[in-house]
Amino acid sequence: MAVIVVGNEKGGAGKSTVAVHLSVALLHEGAKVAVLDLDQRQQSTAHFFVSRERWVAANQAALPQPQRLAGDDVDAALAAAQDCDYVIIDTPGADTELSRLAHRRADLIVTPMNDSFVDFEVLGVVDPLTLDLQRASHYSELVWEARKLKAAERGRPLDWVVLRNRLASVDPRNRRRVDERLKALARRVGFRTLAGLRDRVIYRELFPFGLTVSDLGPGVRPVPVSIGHVAARQELRVLLTELGVVQGPATILAAE
């Protein structure tokens, strides 16, 4: 069982969006997935999967469902999900005890980050001229701490990836600048960077149904299908491959 924690101390970075898309994409890969939402206030991911059950039941759709975990005892939840392949944990945009514990239990931390320098400082502060890292951020230190504790307590490594989210279709200059600084920081702070997700309506418009673009197919069409959906599926496919959670042919694309 692999624990994937989606974390970033900033709200609105795309944690819940990534958590549900990742969970559903893995379900369509045939994986047994459990989900836990530790954002007690928002509960976006928890609500998404409740909506999903209702939508699927009302439409008699044959869609895979995860095991829904609840409560604030992370270890008890993980124990209950022992026979799953993946546990996806969504976390709040704040440093809470629960979130810290979840980070320590992670095999993989996925940190979505808006493609903006405003969000960049959640990872570290770099010198504006030399790009040297002036200091790691509070969140980076939290991940480091989690890494150390995890290695000491369980003897297992922790992989950390930063995923740029809501990439604009036209903004090559900003993207290049963020890219350069992110690469410099990645070496210093110890994360990998991934290609990321574009800003797409399809990543938010299916949310109220408890569906993602990976679900669309015969009998599952709450919105008209467009060419952008194919691109979004492909993007998610690349994400799964880059995360190392799937290999091989594009099975997500096969449903159409």
Ligand X SMILES: Nc1ncnc2c1ncn2[C@@H]1O[C@H](COP(=O)(O)OP(=O)(O)O)[C@@H](O)[C@H]1O
Q: Pick the closer one to ligand X by CB: 17 or 158.
A: 17
Q: How far is the CB of 217 from ligand X (least distance, A)?
A: 21
Q: How far is the CB of 204 from ligand X (least distance, A)?
A: 3
Q: Pick the closer one to ligand X by CB: 13 or 88.
A: 13
Q: Which of 3, 4, 9, 16 binds Mg ion (CB under 5 A)?
A: 16
For tokens 């949310």, name the residue: 207
Q: How far is the CB of 12 from Mg ion (least distance, A)?
A: 8
Q: How far is the CB of 11 from ligand X (least distance, A)?
A: 4
Torsion sign across C-alpha atoms 134, 101, 17, 34: positive
Q: What is the DSSP string of 106-128?
A: -SEEEEEEESSHHHHTTTEEE-T
Number of residues that bind Mg ion (CB under 5 A): 4
Residues present in the chain in total? 256
Determine, following the binding rule CB under 5 A, whether residue 21 of this chain makes contact with Mg ion.
no
Q: How far is the CB of 126 from Mg ion (least distance, A)?
A: 26
CB-side exposure of 181: number of CA atoms within 13 Å? 24
Determine, following the binding rule CB under 5 A, whether residue 44 of this chain makes contact with Mg ion.
yes
DSSP state, residue 64: -
E strand or H helix that includes residue 97: helix 97-105
Q: How far is the CB of 15 from Mg ion (least distance, A)?
A: 5
52 binds, among ligand X, Mg ion, none (CB under 5 to 8 A by kind): none
SS3 annotation, 158-193: CEEEEEEECECCCCHHHHHHHHHHHHHHHHHHCCEE
Q: Pick the closer one to ligand X by CB: 17 or 191.
A: 17
200 binds, among ligand X, Mg ion, none (CB under 5 to 8 A by kind): ligand X
Residues that bind ligand X (CB under 6 A): 11-17, 44, 93, 165-166, 197, 199-200, 203-204
Q: Pick the closer one to ligand X by CB: 122 or 133.
A: 122
Question: Cα–Cα distances in Å, from 172 out to 13, 53, 179, 228, 250?
Answer: 20, 40, 10, 20, 28
Q: Pick the closer one to ligand X by CB: 135 or 204.
A: 204
Q: Pick the closer one to ligand X by CB: 10 or 150.
A: 10
- What is the rounded CA–CA span in Å between residue 52 and residue 133? 43
Q: How far is the CB of 40 from ligand X (least distance, A)?
A: 13
Determine, following the binding rule CB under 5 A, whether residue 15 of this chain makes contact with Mg ion.
yes
Residue (of 136, 160, 120, 148) closest to 6 by Cα position? 160
- What is the rounded CA–CA span in Å between residue 51 and residue 125? 39
71 binds, among ligand X, Mg ion, none (CB under 5 to 8 A by kind): none
Provide the token pair at 185.
């920081």
Q: Pick the closer one to ligand X by CB: 22 or 81.
A: 22
* Residues engaged in binding Mg ion (CB under 5 A): 15-16, 42, 44
